[in-house]
Amino acid sequence: MNNYSVILIVFFILIWGCNSPQNQKNPYLHHGEGYVEVNGGKIWYAILGEGDQPPILCLHGGPGGNSASYYNLSELSKERPIIMFDQLGTGRSDHHQDTSLLKVDLFVEQVEAVKSELKLNEYYLTGGSWGAALALEYYEAHPEGIKGIIFNSPYFSTPIWTEDADKLVAALPDSIKAAIYEAERDSLFNTPAYDAANTYFASLHGRRKEKIKHAYDTIDSKRNTFIYNYMWGPSEFTATGTLRNYDNHQSLKKVNVPALFTTGEFDEARPETVEKLSKLVPDSKFVVIPDAGHSTLNDNGKAVRIAIKEFINNIENE
């Protein structure tokens, strides 16, 4: 090989390196909203803040929930864009009751559709509850450009989740427990007693404080209870849907980017369990959000924002 050939090879390597995703900045994102076409309809997304700093892409819980809780991250948008979207079938996206669309891989495709639409080259990924499972699934399929992951009050495994739920239910008053055990024994969940038990459980381990209405949250954004019931079940502590045997927690061992695990002090994603799961990711960070249930962004959003900001600052200051 002559010197001219060597020079050409070096030149093309340098050109490739300059144009690789790792060396490309994000496009400048503007505050606003839009829609992306996916298999089955259109999904709505919103960008809070603006700029070309690596944004935070947020995946909401449920399944069948909506992204409204992520308005409570808007304070972080002073430094970087916050991207939120409603998964197909719920919120401000197209609604449906087509069970053929309720597959985990299709939810992963929705995340990829938003990322591709916004042409993101590097970003942080966060998911809460079911959104944490989706974040892990998405990372396995499309790790490119992800600088770090925040797993908030995470769900990765139905067996682990229901084991925690059983412990929390066992600590409830006898009358509440009796209503739950009777409903599960008879598979009869549409009773006033079961509804009351569900409400009581949620007041302890779900949203413990009055719901915060954010200034950006101005349009009715309905959840989809059909999706929740079909994929999960009648309550947080009873799994009867298509996810009843779901277990992907061992995939946490494959995560090789910085990871932050947070959960509420009184969360149904119990702190003891989340801490154990966090240890599957090397050098991850674990933070308990004080005085909060599962709805940490509502119950103590300030503490969540501080944890996320410190996590990202540590990555970017390395």
Domains of the chain, CATH where assigned: 32-317 (3.40.50.1820)
Q: Which residue is listed with tokens 């994929």?
A: 231
The answer to whether the CB of 149 falls within 8 A of the CB of 254 is no
DSSP annotation string for 239-256 = --STTTT-B-GGGGGG--
What's the N-to-C CA distance of the chain in angstroms? 40
Q: What is the pLDDT of residue 216?
A: 83
Annotated active-site residue 129? The verdict is yes
Choose, from 60, 86, 157, 267, the residue flagged as catalytic.
Answer: 267
As given in the structure block, the two tokens for residue 297 are 């962004």
pLDDT computed for residue 124 by the predictor: 98
Backbone angles phi, psi at 218, to 5 degrees: -110, -10
User: Would residue 31 show up in a list of annotated catalytic residues for this protein?
Assistant: no
Q: pLDDT (tens digit, 0 to 9) for every residue of the chain, 318 residues total?
A: 555 444 443 333 343 444 444 457 889 999 999 999 999 999 999 999 999 999 999 999 999 999 999 999 999 999 999 999 999 999 999 999 999 999 999 999 999 999 999 999 999 999 999 999 999 999 999 999 999 999 999 999 999 999 999 999 999 999 999 999 999 999 999 999 999 999 999 999 999 999 988 888 877 888 999 999 999 999 999 999 999 999 999 999 999 999 999 999 999 999 999 999 999 999 899 999 999 999 999 999 999 999 999 999 999 997
Looking at residue 23, its pLDDT comes to 53
Catalytic residue among 74, 129, 235, 295: 129
CA distance 221 to 62: 14
**Cα–Cα distances in angstroms (integers) from residue 227 to residues 98, 124, 272, 275, in the given order:** 9, 27, 29, 29
Residue 120 φ then ψ, to 5°: -80, 130
Question: Is residue 267 among the annotated active site residues?
Answer: yes
- The catalytic residue among 77, 284, 294, 295 is 294
